[in-house]
Amino acid sequence: MAERITISPITRLEGHGKIEIFLNDKGDVEDAYWQVVELRGFERFCIGRPVEEMTRIVPNICGVCPSAHHMAATKALDQVFGVEPTPAARLIRELEFNAFYIEDHYIHFFFLAAPDFIVGPHADPKERNILGVIGKVGNEIGLKVIDIRKRNRDIIRHIFSKAPHPEGGLPGGVPRGFTEEDRKWVKETADMSVEFAQFALQIFKDLVLGNKEYVDLITSEAYKLKTYYMSLVDENNKVTFYDGKVKVITPDGKEFAKFDPIDYADHIAEWVEPWTYIRLTHLKKLGWSGLTEGDKTSLYRVAPLARLNVADGMKTPIAQKEAEYMFEVLGGKPAHNTLAMHWARLICALQAAEDNQMIANNPLLTSKDIRNMDYKITGKGVGCVEAPRGTLFHHYETDEKGILTKANLIVATQNNAGPICMSVKKAAQAFVKGPDVKEGFLNMVEMAFRAYDPCLSCATHALPGEMPLSVSIRDSKGEVIRVIERGV
C-alpha cells in the first residue's frame, strides 16, 4: 500500500510550503518533494511603474532578505540608467551589504540552526528553539547576538534610511555618506563584529564539532549531495558578496563556466514541473537532467557552502584560515555535506566583518563624492549580488522613459529548489521507515532543507509549541489514515 506523508510548515510572507514524502508498499521512502505555493502577479505588479520604484518595492517581497533584493535592484538601476557608482558609493554599498550579511547569518545560525545542534535534533520541540538555545548558552550570549545585529542594522539604517527593509537605493550612488565622526562607530561595530564572528565559530567548534554524534550527522551520506556549485567570485577568484563574476564548478571541483551576470540567461535555464510553482533552475548547456545528482546532473547549488567550494579562497585572512580548517575536517574541496552550510555561513559572516574593518579604515569612506548622476537610459539592467542564501539576479527592461516593460527575478531559493528536493529525499530515506515516524526523525528531514535557509517556509524552531506543522499520512486511495499536528 503506497502512502504519503506531508510535512506542512505554513508560514506567511516567505510563502507557503510543505514537504510530501511518498512511501512504497514496504514502507520505505520512494520519493520526496518540497512544494511551494506562489504569491501571484509580481511581474504584472511591476510593469508600467517607473523603474526607480523597484528599490522601494522589492524589499517587501521577502521578509528574510530584503537588503539582498534592495541591492540587486540598485545595481540593476545603475545599468538601466547607464551610470557607474562613484568609488566612494561602491565602498559604502559594500559596507552596507557586509553589515546585512552579519545580521542575517547570525539570525540563521542562532535561531534556526543552533536549536538542532545546541539543543539537539531529538529534543522536545517546545525547547528546540531560540529560547532553548539561550537556556543552553546563557543570557549573555543572547544579548551579544542582539547587540551585534542591532549595531550592524544601524549601518544599514544610516545609509538607506530603514532597516531591516531598506529603501533608499539610487542609481549611481548612495543617499547618505559618512563623516569622520561616523567612522568611529562604524569602526567600533566592525571590530566588535570580527570578535563576535570568531566567538560564534568557537561555539560551533565547541558544541557541534566537539560532539561526535553531530559530526557523524554532518559527514553522513544522508546529508550529502553531489551537484554543480555556483557563486560570485572577485577578480582574484575569492569569495565576494557585493559584486563579481558568476563562476560554476563541476561536482568534482573543475571550473565549468565563468560569466558576467548580464549573460545569465545564456547559462541558466528554468524547468517547470507540475508539482511545484517554483521554476527549477539548471545549467542550460547541460539541459534538464531531472532530480539527479553526481556526474550526470545539471543541478547546481548556491549559498554559503557553494561560495567556499567555488572560490579559490576567502578574501580576508582569518576567514581564509577558518575555511582551510573546514575543508580539512570535511575531507577536501568541494565538500558536498549539506549541513556544513551552517559552518560555511559563520565563515562568510567572519569575512563580512573583516572586510568592514578594512572599509572602516579606508579614507574613501568619508568622501563626499557619493552620487554619479550622469544618467542615460539604456533600457536594460541585470543586478546580481551574492545574497546570503546564494546568487540573486534582478533583470529589468524599460522603455525610453524608464518605465518597466519586463521584470524577471532568479532568487537563491529558486537556484536551490531542485537540490532541496533531493536533500529532503535522501534524509527521508535515511530516517523515515513507515508511517509511524517520530517527531525527532521528521525534524531530521526538515534539517536537510533548513540548511539551505530557504526564504520559503523553512523553520519550525521559531514557534515553540505553536509551529503550524501538519503531517498527513494517506493510503493509496488518498484517504488520510493518520494526522500528526503541532500548533495548527
Partner 1 sequence: MAGKENRILILGLGNPILTDDRIGLILTENLKGKFPGADTASIILAGMELLDILAGYDHVFLIDAATGTGGEPGELKEISDGKGALHLFTSHGVNFFDLLEMGRDMGLKMPEPAAVFGIEIGNATDFGTALSPALSSALPSLEIALTERIREIIASY
Q: Could you tell me the three cell numbers for 6? A: 506531508
Nearest approach, Cβ of residue 45 and partner 1 (Å): 4
Distance of CA 154 to the CA centre of its chain: 22
Q: What's the chain's Rg over C-alpha atoms? A: 22
Looking at the Cβ atoms of 329 and 462, the one nearer to partner 1 is: 462
Closest distance to partner 1 from the beta carbon of 143 (Å)? 6
Q: Which of 26, 40, 254, 477 binds partner 1 (CB under 8 A)?
A: 40
CB 453 within 8 A of CB 104: no
Min dist CB 251 to partner 1, Å, is 30
Rounded to an integer, what distance in angstroms lies between the CA atom of residue 353 and that of residue 37?
36
Closest to 152 (Cα-Cα) out of 107, 90, 113: 107
Q: Does 185 bind partner 1 (CB under 8 A)?
A: no
Residue nearer to partner 1 on the CB measure, 54 or 248:
54
Residue showing cell 539543543:
119
Distance CA(273)–CA(279), nearest Å, equals 7
Nearer to partner 1 (CB atom), residue 132 or residue 177: 132
Q: Does 11 bind partner 1 (CB under 8 A)?
A: yes
C-alpha to C-alpha distance for 395 and 406, rounded to whole angstroms: 8
Q: Which of 13, 209, 262, 265 forms a contact with partner 1 (CB under 8 A)?
A: 13
Nearer to partner 1, 39 or 262 (CB): 39
Interaction of residue 420 with partner 1, rule CB under 8 A = no
Stretch that binds partner 1, among 34-42, 70-78, 116-124, 352-360 (CB under 8 A): 34-42
Q: Interface with partner 1 by CB under 8 A: which range of 126-134, 192-200, 218-226, 412-420?
A: 126-134
Give me the 147-176 binding string for partner 1, x by CB under 8 A, dash otherwise.
--xx--x---------xxx-----------
Four-residue CA torsion sign, 24, 459, 38, 397: negative
- Does the protein bind partner 1 through residue 143 (CB under 8 A)? yes
134 part of the interface to partner 1, by CB under 8 A: yes
- Largest Cα separation within the chain, whole Å, is 71
**Which residues have C-beta within 8 Å of that of residue 153, sequence separation ≥ 6?**
99, 103, 163, 164
Positive/negative CA dihedral, 163, 164, 168, 169: positive
CA–CA separation, 162 and 45 (whole Å): 23
Q: Should residue 458 be labelled a site residue for partner 1 when binding is judged by CB under 8 A?
A: yes
The verdict on 102 binding partner 1 (CB under 8 A) reads: no
| Interface stretch with partner 1, choices 38-46, 117-125, 192-200, 256-264 (CB under 8 A) | 38-46
Q: Which residue has the cell 524547468?
A: 271
Residues contacting partner 1: total by CB under 8 A: 44
Is the preceding omega at residue 468 within 30 degrees of 0, hence cis? no
DSSP character string of 280-296: EEEEGGG----S--STT
In the complex with partner 1, the residue whose CB is nearer, 136 or 226, is: 136
Interacting residues with partner 1 between 60 and 79 (CB under 8 A): 60-61, 63-64
Could you tell me if 248 and 258 are in contact, meaning their C-beta atoms sit under 8 angstroms apart? yes
7 binds partner 1 (CB under 8 A): no
CA-to-CA distance for 451 and 420, rounded, in angstroms? 9
By CB under 8 A, name the binding residues for partner 1: 9, 11-14, 37-42, 44-45, 57, 60-61, 63-64, 107-108, 111-112, 129-131, 134, 139, 142-143, 146, 149-150, 153, 163-165, 457-460, 462-464, 466
